[in-house]
Amino acid sequence: MAPEFGTQSVVDRLGQIEPRVLMVVDGYQYGAKPVSREAEVAEVLAALPTVTGVIHLPYLDAASTGPAGTDSRHTVLWADLHPDLREVVAFEPVPFDHPLYVLFSSGTTGLPKAILHGHGGITLGHAAALALFTDLGPEDRFSWFSTTGWMMWNYLVSGLLVGSTVVLFDGNPAHPSLLSQWELAADAELTYYGTSAPFLMTCRKEGLSPGSAVDLSRLRGVGSTGAPLPAEGFRWVHEAVSSTAQIGSMSGGTDVCNAFVGVTPLTPVWEGEISARLPGIGVEAYAESTLGAGDWSPVVDEVGELVITRPMPSMPVGFWGDEDGSRYHSAYFEEIPGVWRHGDWVTVTSRGSLVITGRSDATLNRGGVRLGTSEFYRVVEELPEVKDSLVVHLEDPAGGAGELVLFVSLAPGVAASEDLPRRIAGVLRSRLSPRHVPDTLQVVRALPRTLSGKKLEVPVKKILRGAPPEDVVAAGALDDPSALADIAAYAASRG
């Protein structure tokens, strides 16, 4: 299934900001398959009455003149917009926090947040990250595989700020094979290639050795984000991709359209860890004191909430339509006054590196011991039979141990067997601990993820608690909305 936004998902986002001009295409190519979007464009336009102008870019059909249903709106072909835009573009000085663009949260519960970023913050933040942290400059060729709906697209385009040549990829990254991305890196002579941790781990699981298959000698950096990259992923990149390229695991978010933590040219790389707080960014792990609720302080070598203690340039200037700032304050500053709470569990080590172990709102608490979700996924998804996994913990209101539920989807051609639960339990017990063995294992066809690939532990947990799926997650926020059907059916069978 191509990773496309559904019509309602687009309307949920764009409807909030009341756009006047919309740029559209007639479709796109995903692998070998042409995908027309003309009907969906017409539906979107019908739902956005504020749009008075349409810019149409033919993609699948060069003769396409524009979407249906635009008779009352001024439609211009991209080629006819102006023969030379350089003659008509004028640059006007604006304040530092003047709105630059809006990015949208995943919208897994309710409408997506319309996050407003300013000119100065993004420009300064991205220039610093790319020039100082990633060490990119005019001699570099830079690519980061991303859809246009992920903040890494904005980050990639900002490579132009430091003079780098930006290399774009259009289509399915696994077509005709997983080697395609590495062939692109070789053909374009990339010096820095970024992707997601799940993509790297999939390449590893498939036994790929890109460094042997293609010439990656110019590659000096491999970036990874979207999920924690486990130690095995670091080793695979070093052994199978390049022994000289620096591995840059990084983490940040759409909220800041940047990274908090990552790697720099001056920091070592440790397997399974993020090398450092990025310079100038006040990242800490905060833990609540046992002396009383609400008393938070930084901790080292133990898990805590990832917080930002000082303003960073690319924090958003606000949410669209949030005139008094109350929604913005509630999203980040309500739980721990005075600092930005990001919602991840992190350990800051005594040597300054960091380990992110999952979302703090999806914590697994077994007998008073806090378990991160990422360690489950690292172990379970190593099994060749398993394609994907998702784990939740259902607390016992009476104070008991509760129930640990593990969902798995199977690799193509693999059928569920009686031996699978025993195998999974055995590997979790031996590689992690007896506390990690699930009480319940359920095989499903597919697992729900957002359009940018994030697992949905919290919505799944709410469904298991009895909430209707439509109340806890918007279908338009999912890459495969039907993936919730098995979860909902299982929840109903539990009574």
Question: Shortest CA distance to 143 belongs to which of 155, 156, 134?
Answer: 156
User: What is the pLDDT confidence band of residue 157, given thresholds at 50, 70 and 90?
Assistant: very high
CB 200 within 8 A of CB 233: yes
Supply the pLDDT for residue 71: 64
User: What is the pLDDT confidence band of residue 456, given thresholds at 50, 70 and 90?
Assistant: confident
Q: Spell out the domain ranges in the chain.
A: 7-87, 99-358, 362-494
267: pLDDT strictly greater than 80: yes
Rounded (10°) angle between helices 373-380 and 419-431? 120
Question: Shortest CA distance to 114 belongs to which of 101, 127, 129, 96?
Answer: 101
Pick the CATH number of 362-494 from 3.30.300.30, 1.10.3720.10, 3.20.20.140, 3.40.50.720: 3.30.300.30
Supply the pLDDT for residue 367: 61
Please name the amino acid found at residue 223: G
- Cα of 492 vs its chain's centroid, Å: 30
User: What is the pLDDT confidence band of residue 400, given thresholds at 50, 70 and 90?
Assistant: low
Which tokens hold the place of 354? Answer: 């960091």
Pick the CATH number of 99-358 from 3.30.70.1520, 3.40.1280.10, 3.40.50.12780, 3.40.50.1460: 3.40.50.12780
User: What is the pLDDT confidence band of residue 398, given thresholds at 50, 70 and 90?
Assistant: low
How many other CB atoms sit within 10 Å of the CB of residue 252?
23
Cα separation, 407 vs 405, in Å, equals 7
- pTM of the entire predicted model: 0.83
What does the pLDDT average to over 300-310?
A: 93
CB 478 within 8 A of CB 451: yes
Cα separation, 459 vs 108, in Å, equals 8
Supply the pLDDT for residue 4: 45
> Rg of the chain's alpha carbons, rounded to an integer?
23
What is the DSSP code (8-state) at residue 146?
-
485: pLDDT strictly greater than 90: no
**Residue 449 in 3-state DSSP?**
strand
| pLDDT tens figures, 37-78 | 888 898 899 899 999 999 999 999 888 888 776 666 788 888
| pLDDT tens figures, 373-391 | 888 888 899 899 999 999 9
| pLDDT tens figures, 203-220 | 999 999 999 999 999 999
User: What is the pLDDT confidence band of residue 448, given thresholds at 50, 70 and 90?
Assistant: confident
What does the pLDDT average to over 414-419?
A: 86
